[in-house]
Amino acid sequence: MTWTILTLVFAAICLSLSMADEMKLMKNEIAVIRNLLREQNKRLTRLEMENDALKITVTKLENDNLLMKDRLVNISDENEALKQEVSDLRRHVTTIQEYSNIENLDKQEEPSGAFRETAVHRRLLLSDAGSPSTTPLPVEPVAFYAYMSKSEPTPSNHHALVFDVLKTNLGNGYNKYSGTFVAPYAGTYVFTWTININPHGAHWINLMVNDAVVGGTLADTQVTGDFDSDSNTAVVVLSQGDSVILRTTSASDTANIHVDSRAFTTFAGWRL
């Protein structure tokens, strides 16, 4: 009986030791698995950060690509405008040469006899409308249209707005780097503009001719998520060389002039 009990006790001790070894092995395996999980989480976090950085880079490249496309379009438009100017200048030169030939013909010494009669007959056939003193040179059309490529964060008082994406510039009166239009000819001009404002912001925008205020808008938003878009039009008489800009008249520390791909902040004008 005693031997049997000892045998059972020994078997129990062996079983307990075996279970303890197995528990130890399991704990070690769990620790290894936990370490692997931590490493995997670190790798996933690092990959997510790299992915976010790549997304930012791709977005920047896409924006740069859009800006480059706009620049190419602007260059193409300016090239077409220059071609048109060259063609107009050639036409003007031809017209001036024709006027000059007519004047020279009238100033020539009249011949005698049959040649004199022929010369008189030729002068009689000339139209008075061809005289430089009665027919002014044609004035080329003037028109421009531009919009902002990026938002203006909280611009200060008397800040000139620059519409840097120039789509039309007949007469080359608008400067997309300064935001200024200079009248190439005297006449009556129409100007129109649209200003977008972010939520909880307000801006007074004035149309300036030289130093005089000739038009204005108030763009104002009140609640979260509320954007405002205000437009106005002005008809003004300009002398050659007069300058026209849009500028802020009162500053707000919460107001951004807002730009996105669906709502353009624009400035345009043309000569009647």
Residue matched to tokens 């010494």: 109
Residue 88, helix vs strand vs coil: helix
* pLDDT, average across residues 99-119: 50
Q: At a CB cut-off of 8 Å and minimum separation 6, what does 230 contact?
A: 194, 195, 197, 205, 217, 218, 219
Mean pLDDT of 246-258: 74
Q: How confident is the model at residue 222 (pLDDT cuts 50, 70, 90)?
A: low
More confident residue, 73 or 143: 143
- Which helix (H) or strand (E) is 38 found in, with range? helix 2-107
- pLDDT for 45 equals 86
Q: Provide, rounded to the nearest whole percent, the portion of the chain with pLDDT above 70.
A: 78
Whole-number pLDDT of residue 144: 97
What is the structure's pLDDT at 195? Answer: 87
- pLDDT interval class at 125 (50, 70, 90): very low
Residues 177-182: what's their mean pLDDT?
Answer: 95
Averaged pLDDT score across all residues of the chain: 78
**For the chain, domain boundaries:** 1-138, 140-271
pLDDT of residue 189: 97
Is the pLDDT at 269 greater than 90? The verdict is: yes
CB distance 146 to 73 below 8 Å? no
pLDDT in tens, 78-87: 777 777 777 7
Cβ(191)–Cβ(268) below 8 Å: yes
Kindly indicate whether the domain formed by 140-271 is annotated with CATH number 2.60.120.40.
yes
pLDDT tier at 124 (50, 70, 90 boundaries)?
very low
pLDDT digits (tens, 9 = 90+) for 18-53: 777 778 888 888 888 888 888 888 888 888 888 888
In this prediction, residue 233 carries a pLDDT of 94
pLDDT surpasses 50 at 123? no
The pLDDT value given to residue 118: 44
* Tokens linked to 166: 């120039």
d(Cα 121, Cα 34) in Å, to the nearest integer? 112
Smallest CA-to-CA distance from 246 within 178, 144, 150 is with: 178
